[in-house]
Amino acid sequence: MYGKGILKGLGVTLKRYWNTYWDDLVWLFQGKKRYNSPEGIAHRSSSKTRGIFTVQYPEEKLLLPEEARYIPFLVFDEGAEGKKEVRCTSCGICAKVCPPQCIWIVRSNDPNTGRPIPEPTEFYIDADICMNCGFCAEYCPFDAIIMDHDFEIASYSRNVYNMEKLLKPASYYKSIRPENYARNEAERKAKEAAKAAKAAAANTAAPAA
């Protein structure tokens, strides 16, 4: 019969139309919020989704997975009396690996000896050139530079970030990437323990000799 294919196709669209309202009703009767709730957004981006699957940005936002990456930021540990202990040692690996070369670091020198000391004097990221590839965070040996989740950075001028803008506390890092943070902390603890054990071994060995 001519037109059977068209009717079949229309059946598909009709089913989808029906599903949209059926799903909304089911959620309504179950007393769950399908829209404007994290549960609803998670459902709409799951493999079970049907009906309306769009997310109404900016009222709703997609739930970002832990690994989501945007512009990098610098991590500082909160020391005693609110002192910012910047993790960066200005080793320069991030500046060297950066594909668009958007990281600029001035290494600190000891004013007395002129020898380099492990912290940056200036640190710039040209966020307009940054391609969000994540290499800097991936290859940083000190977990000092981390990719942020904040993607709403549109502005009227160029985004050149200095240290002041880049520094964020380790607690923020923990809040956006809990698993990575836990893994890093475990590694750091293990490293410190190994170091302490080595030092202790050296101490006990020294008097004997």
Residues 140-199, interacting with other proteins (CB under 8 A):
147, 158, 160
Quick check: 68 binds other proteins (CB under 8 A)?
yes
Residues 95-124, interacting with other proteins (CB under 8 A):
95-99, 101, 103-107, 116, 122, 124
Least distance CB 11 / other proteins (angstroms): 7
- Sequence-distant contacts of 110-116: CB under 8 A, at least 24 apart: 116/90
Token couple for 8: 């079949």
> Pairing between strand 167-169 and 145-147?
unpaired
Which residues lie below 8 Å from residue 54, measured CB to CB, with a gap of 6+?
Answer: 44
Quick check: 133 binds other proteins (CB under 8 A)?
yes
Q: Which of 13, 30, 113, 204 binds other proteins (CB under 8 A)?
A: 13
Quick check: 41 binds other proteins (CB under 8 A)?
no
Which CB, 1 or 206, lies closer to other proteins? 1
Which CB, 117 or 200, lies closer to other proteins? 117
Residue 85 bridge partners (DSSP): 77
C-alpha dist (Å) from residue 47 to 50, 128, 135: 9, 35, 31
Which CB, 122 or 187, lies closer to other proteins? 122
Quick check: 86 binds other proteins (CB under 8 A)?
no
- Return d(Cα 31, Cα 53) in angstroms, integer: 19
Per residue in 7-35, is it b (16+ CB within 10 Å) or e — as a string?
A: eeeeeeeeeeeeeeeebeeebeeeeeebe
Sites of contact with other proteins (CB under 8 A): 2-6, 8-9, 11-13, 16, 45-49, 53, 64-65, 67-69, 90, 92-93, 95-99, 101, 103-107, 116, 122, 124, 126, 131-135, 138-139, 147, 158, 160
